[in-house]
Amino acid sequence: MVLVLVDGLGWNQLVARPHRAPFLNSLGGGPITTVGPSTTASALTSLATGATPIEHGIVGYRMDMGDGVMNSLRWTVGDRDMRKVFEPVTVQPIPPFAGISVPVVSRADLQETPFTFAHLRGSRPHGWRCASSIVTQCARLVRDEGQTFVYAYYDGLDKIAHECGLGEHYDDELSFVDWLVRSLFEALPTGTCLVVTADHGQVNVGDNVIELPSRLLEHVHHQSGEGRFRWLHARHGHEAELERICRDLYSDVAWVASKEQVVDEAWLGPAPGGRGQDAAIRRLGSVALAPHTPTTFHDPLDSGPFGLIGRHGSLTPDEMLVPLLAVTRP
């Protein structure tokens, strides 16, 4: 089996473009639900561990670690590398792939990152620098080395959606993904099962950015999460007032919930108890804002080199539904 995860390939976006992805749309399978928050760090860790975010502890893109808000993909607080402060094996303690060492075909520059160690430690990396090498690497591992399971990761579609939205650039990249997956299928030996899935879908947000007003921010100590799953961390004693103001201001554009509601209603997965869950809950804020409209909540400390047009993280079908497709090489 070769499992390909296409970062950002939402089910709704895929089936709306059959002419752009005829091979993918021809495969057997259908939609499944990703995890909340519908973000890469949480979902990739869930795929590798079989655990929910509340269990494995990677509860979002930016997490409150008690000593700063850490970017979980870069493993940084600001410009500081935090791998020695927040050891990946401690932050995410569940062994990936049940402790079995599997070959992973992913970008070469991702191999030595702390996040890779957190969610793929113990795997055998086979890095690629050009996406076409995914075909070569996966086929060689199955055909020449006799590997029975290969995990491959491609992130180009997600990058295009973030930077350019869901327009022409996205359509062209989806066509490339369709070619890539079809080429991989044709290169695999007879009897090999090719499975395709994703970590989340996308929402075209554009300029619909909500700036939090000063009368709300006076109750906020700091923020974490991301624009479509924003955590507000209340100043001590301001939790109830912060939640009240958020509900008054944003119930028409977002789901507003306290930390307790998020945990009790299993937004981040069922909570079985234990030290791992307790650590994960401590990383959550006081109030969650998860838009059900094409909007995003701005945090000046959560800004990259360019504005994001396409986004994800919330609980809408466009973000939560992802494909699970399969075909066996005859």
Q: Quick one: 283 and 301 in the same domain?
A: yes
Question: What pLDDT score was predicted for residue 224?
Answer: 98
Question: What pLDDT score was predicted for residue 273?
Answer: 66
Q: Quick one: 61 and 181 in the same domain?
A: yes
Q: Quick one: 36 and 181 in the same domain?
A: yes
Q: Quick one: 55 and 184 in the same domain?
A: yes
Q: Quick one: 114 and 155 in the same domain?
A: yes
Q: Is the pLDDT of residue 168 over 90?
A: yes
* Residue 245: φ, ψ to 5°: -65, -40
pLDDT tens per residue across span 224-257: 999 999 999 999 999 999 999 999 999 999 999 9
3-state percent breakdown (helix, strand, coil) of the chain, nearest 5: 35, 25, 40
Tokens 């491959």 appear where?
152
Question: What pLDDT score was predicted for residue 226?
Answer: 96
Question: What pLDDT score was predicted for residue 278?
Answer: 87
Q: Which residue range(s) make up the domain with 247?
A: 209-311
Q: Are 26 and 20 in contact (CB under 8 A)?
A: no
Q: Quick one: 59 and 196 in the same domain?
A: yes
Q: Quick one: 99 and 248 in the same domain?
A: no
Q: Which residues contact 233 (CB under 8 A, 6 or more apart)?
A: 64, 220, 221, 222, 223, 224, 285, 286
Q: Are 318 and 201 in contact (CB under 8 A)?
A: yes
Q: Is the pLDDT of residue 65 over 80?
A: yes
Q: Quick one: 154 and 271 in the same domain?
A: no
- What CATH number has the domain bearing residue 52? 3.40.720.10
Q: Quick one: 100 and 248 in the same domain?
A: no
**How much is the CA Rg of the chain, to the nearest whole Å?**
20
- What CATH number has the domain bearing residue 247? 3.30.1360.180
For residue 70, give the 3-state DSSP assignment: strand
Q: Give the count of domains, the chain.
A: 2
Which pTM value belongs to this model?
Answer: 0.96
Q: Quick one: 153 and 222 in the same domain?
A: no
Q: Quick one: 80 and 94 in the same domain?
A: yes
Length of the chain, please? 330
> Sign (positive/negative) of CA torsion 5, 7, 13, 17?
negative
Angstrom distance (rounded) from CA 60 to CA 58: 6
> Nearest CA to 107 among 76, 140, 74, 133?
133
pLDDT tens per residue across span 272-308: 766 568 899 999 999 999 999 999 999 998 866 668 9
Q: Are 267 and 231 in contact (CB under 8 A)?
A: no
pLDDT tens per residue across span 104-137: 999 999 999 999 999 999 999 999 999 999 999 9
Mean pLDDT of 39-50: 98
pLDDT tens per residue across span 1-18: 999 999 999 999 999 999
What is the pLDDT confidence band of residue 146, given thresholds at 50, 70 and 90?
very high
